[in-house]
Structure formats: C-alpha cells, structure tokens
Structure 1
Amino acid sequence: MVDAPTSTQFVFQRMLGNVQSGVWETGAQIPSERSLIEEFGVSRIAIREALSMLRGLGVVEISHGRRTRVKSVDAGTLSDLLPLMLIGGQQTFDQVFEVRLALESQTATLAARRRTPEQLSRLDELLAQFRKAMSNGGDKAAQVVDLEFHLEIARASANPLFPTLLEALAGFVSFAQKESCRNDAVRGERAVLAHESIVDAIRDRDADRARVEMESHLRYSMTRKIEAENAE
C-alpha cells in the first residue's frame, strides 16, 4: 500500500466531510485506526497525520488510551475550517456572498421583530461610530465597526447560531467590505445611508423592510466589488 503525496490531505478532507455531514456526530467515537486504514486505503501515518490536523483545529479530541471523539464546533473552529472548506478565488467570494445574503436577510428580519431597547441603542451607537469612521476615509476602523454592526443585528435575532456563523465568516466579510468601499467616497456614503435605513427599519419593527434594506445593501456592495475588479 503506497500513499500518494496528497494522501494525508485526502483523508483529512474525507474525515472533515464526515463531521460536516453528521456521519460522525458530536461526542461520538470515530472508527478505530484499523477501520480507518481499511476505509480510506492509506497508511497508518496518513491516518494519524490527518487526525492530528483535525485535533489542531479543535474538531476532534484525542485522549491517551481512549478512542478519538468528535468535539462541538464553535465560531473559532469554523473560522479555521472555512478556508479549508472553500475553493478560493472569485468562486469563494461568490459562495460567501450567497451565504451572507441568506443569513443576513434573515437576521435583519428577526432583529426587527425581536430586538431589545438595549440592542437598538447599541445599533445607534455603532451607526454613529461607522458614520464617523467613514467620514475619516473609511479606514480599518470602519471595517471593524461595520462587522460589529452586522454582528449586533445577528445577536438581536435572538438565535445564537446566527452571530456564530457570521463571526466564522468574518475574514471574508471584512475583505469584501474593504473592497466594496475602497477609495470611493460615494460608495462610503452609500454604505452609511444603507446602515441608517436598516436601523430605521429595525427601530420601527418593520421586518419586511429590514430584510429588503439588508438585501439591497449586500447586493450593492457585491456589485461594486465586481465593478472594481473589472476596472482593474
């Protein structure tokens, strides 16, 4: 039995797929080393290296004298896993955009229905910070505030899975935000107005308008990014 140079990566991806699909459930013991060797047709070294990679990412727990178990996955783990799950390049950002569109349209809808006075106050505060940051040229501080703004809306949905998933996408989200408003005062002003419209809809508890405003904001940002790429 001879391993190809990519055998460890092959096994790693297959194991990760078992976790993602639920074949290996959280808390469950994974098959024995001998069973994995037979299943994947690779050497013991490849199996152990792949398991070590999964352990390093926090996906599995390996205890001395005990079988390896699947751990629960939090936002930090997802952030590490996403670059491995996605293909890269333009297709990756298209995929992330599709997820964001579905995710944040729903968070805005639910936030309008479920937000608390404290959460609305926090959104007003973040809106003011974003407006100030954009007036100063839309630097990195604006990106940080922008991400926190979207995360606060996700928290206001009262579903803890939404902020966890959005936080996992944070690296891709920040890049898209940077690209969509790069060196363009008009785009920056448009972003501020979009944030204002989203907050107003959430303030009025208008779920349908919140969804439409969020979707419009995200679609515009993605369109501007594509236009910027085509102009280069």
Structure 2
Amino acid sequence: MVEASTSTQTVFQKMLLNVQSGIWETGAKIPSERSLIDQFGVSRIAIREALSMLRGLGVLEINHGQRTRVKTVDAVTLGHLLPLMLSSGGQQTFDQVFEVRLAIESQTASQAARRRTSEQLERLKELLASFRDAMRNDGNTNAQAIDLEFHLEIARATANPLFPVLLEALAGFVSFAQKASCQNDSERSQRAVLAHESIFEAIRDADADRARVEMESHLRYSMTRKIRPDEPLFDDSDPSAH
C-alpha cells in the first residue's frame, strides 16, 4: 500500500512538472494511458490516481471517451497549486509570498492610478468605507474579505487581466496575512486603515508614483509581522483560499 502510494505521488510530481515546463502544452492532449504506463514504469492504478489528482487541481481536463487535455491555468488552478509550490512553510514562505506581492501590487497601484475608471474609483471608495467600518466594529471577521476585494479591485483597475488573476491566486494567503497582521493589535489595525486611505487617495488623484510608494510602504509594514513556525499559511476552511 505504501509503495503504491509512493508511486502515485512520484508520477503526480513528474506529470505536474511536465505541465509547468511546457512539455505538456496548454490545450494539448497528453499521451495515452498505455504510453504513460510505459513512460513512468508504474501500474495503471498509479497512473489513474495521479491523473485524478491533477484533475482535482484543475490542471487536466478528463472527459469520458476523449483523450485528456491540459487546461488553461487560471486563478483557481493557481490557487490550488500555490500550497504545493510553497512547500517550505513558516516564515520563509510568508516572506517569499510578500516579495511576490510587492512586485505585483506596487505595479497594480501605479497602473490603477493611471487607468482606473470613475466606476472603479467609486467601488474602491465603497470598499474603503466598508473596510474602515469592519476594522472598527468587528475586528477581522469581515475585514479580511473586504481587504482582499480592495486589493483585487485595484488590480482590475490596471486593465491588465493578468494582475487580478495572479493576485486572486494568492487570495488565501492575502486573507491570512491581513488577519495575522492585525489580529489583537489595535495599532496595526489603525495603520492598515490609514494605509488603505493613502493608497485610495493616490489612485483618486491619478498620482501613479505616490500610489506605488503607498502600496509598497503598506506591504513592507505588513511583512514585519513574524509568524509561529507551526502556523499554517493557507487555511483549508477558508473558501477564499481555493
């Protein structure tokens, strides 16, 4: 039983690498089951279980009577893959994801200041008011979801569809970070509100440089929070993480 499980996991990792490296191209049919058995040197059961795991992640599309194809990677797929890719866990993963967020969101804030529409600005204003109220009245209960939506709306305002896809893939972590950064800390909560206000004002004023600086400052302060070694970064019970 252990050997079979090990074979399945090994094949799963190799198949996933084929997708990530482009050996199995998006939209293309993967080799037949017989070919996969010969290629990986494992049983039919191990091949089918590995394919089922990849289907569960949203990487493969398996239709009855048709050859399996590689699916287009979207935010949902990335959201499933991130916990696998960020396997180190703990503080190292916390820091790594924030480095990515810095790279992405300093640009989204800057581009949003240049490209946002009046409707998007109004939506950001509404989210800012909701975030302020949530932080004041119920701590983190609703603030996490509102905070995520605020950052996503900024990404959408760039008019570049890749930005919201990438940020949404980090949704579970963004929610965790907001909760972890402000939990039982009134000073951090107040600073989070002030940071969101400053980011909004820069975008409202179409000041791209200031928007970038305010977003970077906000994220760098959030990065100063230290987490426990055993603290999970992705909460499987949180729907936003999937």
Calculate the TM-score normalised by the size of structure 2.
Answer: 0.87
Deviation, structure 1 residue 136:
1.6
Residue of structure 2 equivalent to 1:158: 159
Alpha-carbon spacing, 1:163–1:141, altered in 2? closer, same or farther (3 Å):
same
Residue of structure 1 equivalent to 2:42: 42
115-124 vs 52-61, which moves further: 52-61
Deviation, structure 1 residue 4:
5.7
161-170 vs 187-196, which moves further: 161-170
1:154 and 1:56 mapped to 2: Cα distance? Answer: 27
Deviation, structure 1 residue 98:
1.6
Deviation, structure 1 residue 185:
1.0
1:137 and 1:174 mapped to 2: Cα distance? Answer: 16
1:3·1:43 contact (CA, 8 Å) conserved in 2?
Answer: no
Deviation, structure 1 residue 204:
1.4
2:93 and 2:82 mapped to 1: Cα distance? Answer: 10
Deviations 1:172-195 (A, max 9, x none): 111111110111111111111111
1:111·1:154 contact (CA, 8 Å) conserved in 2?
Answer: yes
Deviations 1:23-80 (A, max 9, x none): 2111101122233233333222211110011122222122333321111122222222
Residue of structure 2 equivalent to 1:100: 101
Letter of the 1:24 partner, please give it: W
Following superposition of structure 1 onto structure 2, how do residues 107-122 of structure 1 map, counting pairs within 5 Å?
107-122=108-123
Q: CA RMSD in A?
A: 1.9
1:122 and 1:27 mapped to 2: Cα distance? Answer: 36
Between the aligned residues of both structures, percent identity stands at: 79
63-72 vs 105-114, which moves further: 63-72
3-state secondary structure, aligned to 1:140: coil
Calculate the TM-score normalised by the size of structure 1.
Answer: 0.91
Alpha-carbon spacing, 1:131–1:64, altered in 2? closer, same or farther (3 Å):
closer
Paired residues, number: 227
Residue of structure 1 equivalent to 2:233: none
Q: 2:75 aligned with 1:67, yes or no?
A: no
2:62 and 2:149 mapped to 1: Cα distance? Answer: 35
Deviations 1:73-128 (A, max 9, x none): 22222222222222033332222112111111111111011100111111111111
Residue of structure 1 equivalent to 2:171: 170
2:91·2:228 contact (CA, 8 Å) conserved in 1?
Answer: no
2:90·2:228 contact (CA, 8 Å) conserved in 1?
Answer: no
Higher RCO structure, 1 or 2 (CA under 8 Å, sep 6+) = 2
Residue of structure 1 equivalent to 2:57: 57
1:211 and 1:99 mapped to 2: Cα distance? Answer: 15
Residue of structure 2 equivalent to 1:20: 20
Following superposition of structure 1 onto structure 2, how do residues 153-232 of structure 1 map, counting pairs within 5 Å?
153-223=154-224, 225-226=225-226, 229=228
Which runs of at least 4 in structure 1 moved beyond 3 Å after TM superposition?
Answer: 2-5
Q: 2:73 aligned with 1:81, yes or no?
A: no
Alpha-carbon spacing, 1:100–1:3, altered in 2? closer, same or farther (3 Å):
same
Q: 2:149 aligned with 1:148, yes or no?
A: yes
Deviation, structure 1 residue 165:
1.5
Q: Where in structure 2 are there 5+ consecutive unaligned residues? A: 230-242
1:40 and 1:91 mapped to 2: Cα distance? Answer: 33
Q: Where in structure 1 are there 5+ consecutive unaligned residues? A: none
2:196 and 2:64 mapped to 1: Cα distance? Answer: 51
2:63 and 2:201 mapped to 1: Cα distance? Answer: 52
141-150 vs 57-66, which moves further: 57-66
153-162 vs 135-144, which moves further: 135-144
Q: 2:119 aligned with 1:133, yes or no?
A: no
2:174 and 2:63 mapped to 1: Cα distance? Answer: 36
Residue of structure 1 equivalent to 2:236: none
